Amino acid sequence: SQKIEQNSEALNIQEGKTATLTCNYTNYSPAYLQWYRQDPGRGPVFLLLIRENEKEKRKERLKVTFDTTLKQSLFHITASQPADSATYLCALTGANNLFFGTGTRLTVIP
Amino acid sequence: GAVVSQHPSWVICKSGTSVKIECRSLDFQATTMFWYRQFPKQSLMLMATSNEGSKATYEQGVEKDKFLINHASLTLSTLTVTSAHPEDSSFYICSAIQEGAYNSPLHFGNGTRLTVT
């Protein structure tokens, strides 16, 4: 069965640094990969979508890479701010399925 | 942007009673809605996929007679937890697809915190 792992349950980083979150998957070949942000007690909010034929996608301070050979996506937040503190989820999408990773709880320390 | 409204945001009920949770797409037609359950510090667990006008598709291990899903219109899906028990206490979240394609971003409701006493 498919498995999605996000590198760490929690990540602490100093304000201003770049946060890098990892999403690894096995037994699956997703056509798309998405990243979401979830704040406590709230539903996830869509951030970025990257297709299997795209290497990199950017949106403001966010950057996502997608390596189908390594079966890995990296999610970067540059110039991190305390307001970026949240749980970040990767999600793999195919034709008829959608699977979420376990999430990484990011804390940006002022 | 697309908005999904979920109601209620929290509910406390007694064991053995039923609870209905509503999920509405406010400014778009959602042909497909998803229902998730999330336990503390865990990821979203897909419970079922709801398509307008047809029976929901449940994930393995999810009791369809316990978690009743109705998707009667393009803007409303409901999840009813029947004969709730304390182990059903969780955070339930719905999401909707705007174009009916799995490659579209999901729009999530803000979730319902269910506590069964």
A53 close to B (CB below 8 A): no
DSSP conformational letter for A82: G
pLDDT for the residue B103: 67
- Give which of B101, B97, B99 is closest to B77, Cα–Cα: B97
Q: In this structure, what are the phi and psi dihedrals at residue B30, rounded to the nearest 5 degrees?
A: -105, 100
Burial of B13: CB neighbours in 10 Å, binned 0-12, 13-18, 19+: middle
Contacts of B66 (CB under 8 A, 6+ apart): B81, B82, B83
Question: Are residues A42 and B110, on separate chains, in Cβ contact within 8 Å?
Answer: yes
Six token digits for residue A12 = 């602490």
pLDDT for the residue A63: 98
Select the more confidently predicted residue: A80 or B42.
A80
* Mean pLDDT, residues A47-52 taken together: 92
- Are B45 and B36 spatial neighbours (Cβ–Cβ below 8 Å)? yes
Number of H helices, E strands in chain A: 0, 11
Q: State the average pLDDT for chain B.
A: 90
Six token digits for residue A25 = 């998957």
* Mean pLDDT, residues A42-63 taken together: 93
* Nearest-by-Cβ selection for B102 from A42, A89, A94: A94
Q: In this structure, what are the phi and psi dihedrals at residue B86, rounded to the nearest 5 degrees?
A: -55, -30
Q: pLDDT per residue over B51-97, tens digit each?
A: 888 889 999 999 999 999 998 888 999 999 999 999 999 999 999 88
* Nearest-by-Cβ selection for A93 from B6, B103, B110: B103
Strands A56-59 and A62-67, sheet pairing:
antiparallel
∠ at Cα B98 (B51, A4), nearest 5°?
Answer: 80
Burial of B43: CB neighbours in 10 Å, binned 0-12, 13-18, 19+: buried
Question: Are residues A43 and B46, on separate chains, in Cβ contact within 8 Å?
Answer: no
Residues of B whose CB is below 8 A from A94: 102
Q: Any bridge partners for residue B22, and if so which?
A: B7, B78
| Dist. CA A93–CA B39, nearest whole Å | 22
Residues of B whose CB is below 8 A from A93: 102-103
Examine the pLDDT at A97 and tell me if it is beyond 80: no
pLDDT for the residue B104: 75
Confidence bin at B1 (pLDDT 50/70/90): low
∠ at Cα A50 (A87, B77), nearest 5°?
Answer: 65
Confidence bin at A94 (pLDDT 50/70/90): low
The identity of residue A28, as a single letter, is Y
Collapsing DSSP to helix, strand or coil, A33 comes out as strand
